[in-house]
């Protein structure tokens, strides 16, 4: 906790997926970012800390696991569901744009800014928390610890990823803390850390040590691990085009 900001990272140990709570201690209202389908741990934390959930945000349409935003909305029917305006989801959601501010949703005095960062997916955003202490970036699948998000799952674009990283994210102050949507070996990431900084990634991340867009594209097209199992079906469910009720157990556990 930093001043008014309540910030909590939830790690799903079985998969390395990370979700985040942004809340105001002053108002007791919060936003949950990238919740996974098994929402119990998030719900317990909210109840234990008397936080009213007012919004659910996905940084993008996930391809490796089922999103929990619609499951959570059943518990909090008045909560806003939000994604970037380019999301092809067929259910109703609040459409976010580059530069939008979300702090009014929770009555916070610190800023919560939307940064549109396509590349991993066409509808990808990051959230920048601007506080008096130190800024925090929820980076989704754009920037990881020691790597960047892949672009080969059907909605990616290497040129867009280069622009998002080098012309947006890496322009942030070096001390900006970075909190990605995936951590650890489950996602073929070498580091066991739960967060990083812009400065550290600028200096050490292999994907960012390139000298041209051409070098970056080459990095993004060579040596990636296998694609997630059932990723196309997972995307269809997260779009709302297929029913969660029909999902096989291996997808629910993914």
- Residue at 59 is within a domain: yes
Q: In what order do the strands lie in the sheet with 94-96?
A: 5-12, 17-24, 29-33, 52-57, 80-84, 94-96
Sequence-distant (6+) residues with CB within 8 A of 252 are 37, 66
- Residue at 247 is within a domain: no
The range of the structural domain enclosing residue 106 comes to 5-222
- Residue at 249 is within a domain: no
Q: What is the pLDDT along the chain (254 residues), one digit of tens a residue?
A: 467 999 999 998 878 899 999 999 999 999 999 999 888 888 899 999 999 999 999 999 999 999 999 988 889 999 999 999 999 999 999 999 999 999 999 999 999 999 999 999 999 999 999 998 899 999 999 999 999 999 999 899 999 999 999 999 999 999 999 999 998 755 555 566 899 999 999 999 999 999 999 999 999 998 888 888 889 999 999 999 988 777 777 787 76
Kind and range of the H or E run holding 69: helix 69-75
Separation between Cα atoms, residue 219 and residue 161, nearest integer Å: 12
Task: Give the number of other CB atoms < 10 A from CB of residue 78.
Answer: 9
Nearest CA to 34 among 225, 158, 183, 148? 183
Total domains in the chain come to 1
Sequence-distant (6+) residues with CB within 8 A of 59 are 33, 34, 124, 125, 126, 127, 138, 139, 140, 141, 142, 181
Nearest CA to 19 among 31, 1, 29? 31
- Residue at 248 is within a domain: no
- Residue at 230 is within a domain: no
- Residue at 250 is within a domain: no
Which residue, chain included where needed, has tokens 């980076």? 139
Record the pTM. 0.94
With contact defined as beta carbons under 8 Å apart, do 26 and 107 qualify? yes
- Residue at 134 is within a domain: yes
- Residue at 237 is within a domain: no
149: domain CATH number is 3.60.15.10
């Amino acid at each position: 906790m930093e001043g008014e900001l309540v910030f909590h990272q939830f790690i799903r140990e079985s998969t390395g997926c990370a979700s985040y709570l942004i809340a105001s201690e002053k108002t007791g209202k919060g936003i949950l970012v990238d919740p996974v389908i098994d929402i119990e741990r998030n719900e317990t934390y909210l109840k234990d800390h008397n936080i009213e959930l007012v919004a659910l945000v996905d940084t993008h349409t996930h391809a490796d696991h089922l999103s929990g935003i619609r499951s959570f909305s059943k518990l909090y029917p008045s909560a806003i569901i939000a994604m970037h305006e380019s999301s092809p989801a067929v259910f109703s959601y609040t459409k976010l744009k580059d530069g939008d501010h979300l702090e009014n949703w929770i009555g916070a005095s610190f800023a919560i800014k939307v940064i549109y960062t396509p590349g991993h997916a066409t509808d990808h955003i990051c959230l920048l928390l601007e506080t008096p202490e130190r800024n925090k970036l929820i980076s989704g699948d754009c920037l990881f610890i020691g790597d960047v998000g892949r672009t080969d799952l059907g909605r990616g674009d290497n040129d867009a990823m280069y622009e998002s990283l080098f012309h947006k994210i890496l322009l942030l102050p070096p001390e900006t803390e970075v909190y990605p949507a995936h951590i650890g070996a489950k996602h073929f990431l070498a580091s066991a850390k739960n967060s990083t900084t812009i400065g550290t990634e600028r200096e050490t991340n292999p994907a960012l040590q390139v000298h041209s867009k051409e070098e970056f594209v080459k990095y993004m097209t060579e040596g990636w691990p296998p694609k997630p199992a059932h990723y196309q079906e997972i995307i269809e469910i997260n779009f709302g085009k297929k029913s969660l009720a029909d999902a096989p157990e291996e997808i629910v556990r993914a």
